[in-house]
Structure 1
């Protein structure tokens, strides 16, 4: 790994690394916050997955998470949202909701995207292998995300319950098989067989597998994507069927932005800390 940037923050350090990804077949950049406790011991880690159009830097600069992460002794790892580079195919019309910046945390099977778009493997397998170089206790890991990243966090956690201790999401895309963002992404990356889509649909996965991990979801009631794209009611209905407890908050006046995330990030980190101690 090549260290690109490093800044001190709340007695810890915010770093950005670059490396060659084997599963994505391109250079990748990720960020990690190491709390001050990491100077003398390994620390638990929370993975953050960002949403459409984001990079590894959005959460780092906008969420205000470093202060509480330093207090709790939590590292936060922020991967990019898609493969990058001139050789990586993009949406033919350069739309924001497919291609670069919109990897959807899945393994694509359709050409030309199947060569590079393996964000599921990257987050679940390759990135943790790199992180063994840092003072992190990967046996104590949780995962969270926003919007497309909330979709990623939920699906990855449901499919890998032994790898994480808890999962949370802000404004997640809860049922991509049933919304426009999901239809475009899942068809483009996985093809027209909608049975294959269920492997990356949190609601469908919950109905199939249940979930024994603690789950927390917060949603802004003034989110302009709530009705058409996010559909948390479908996930909550599936959780009720499967007798899965979900700590759910619907917050009047809040939208889809990082102002919402910054307002409740402390609650999410404290939620994860309860299970990472």
Structure 2
């Protein structure tokens, strides 16, 4: 399965029609295989936007398209074959093993009550290996640490073989080693990826495009260096921001200070 393009056309969302908009008009286009980073202060609307993209909520107005097709026209199973999501909320009370959880990623690809076949098993094993979970495959999910559960959820999403992967703060709960592994995975996967991140420097490093949100309103969208300008970051996050050049890597690095 190849990556898909993603476009949002004047998308808004509110819990009910008469409620204030939690996401104001948002438009963007992401080419197949690109990585979009969504950043902003707490309550900016990042998770709201992600939920719209993976179909948990429907836009109040506007259209979301995958390869030009509105996701509102897709049945849930068909959408699940195109978009997989890894959320911040992690299940802790499942009486299922790690392998059982990862195997759930194959459900959208099965017909009726059919049982997993050899190809399903191969894809499940590959996802377990990719996320370094082979030795944990027979452990019950409830016995794992938060970081281990996060890796299981990523493996389940990979087993789903989506065209678009949505990641809500994918490095939460992870130690430094596994943070780096997930970030490397983001770079290497032949998928279109939409992810929310808190670390602006990591966002600039791994993302092709960045969307900055504040109070549900888009502030900028574009390549990281343009979208994360010093002035915009300062205004959005309420901090003093300075762009430094790291001499060894020749990469730009943002540093922050509280206003005094």
TM-score (norm 1): 0.29
State the structure with more CA Rg. 2
Q: Which has the higher contact order (CA 8 A, sep 6+)?
A: 2
TM-score (norm 2): 0.31
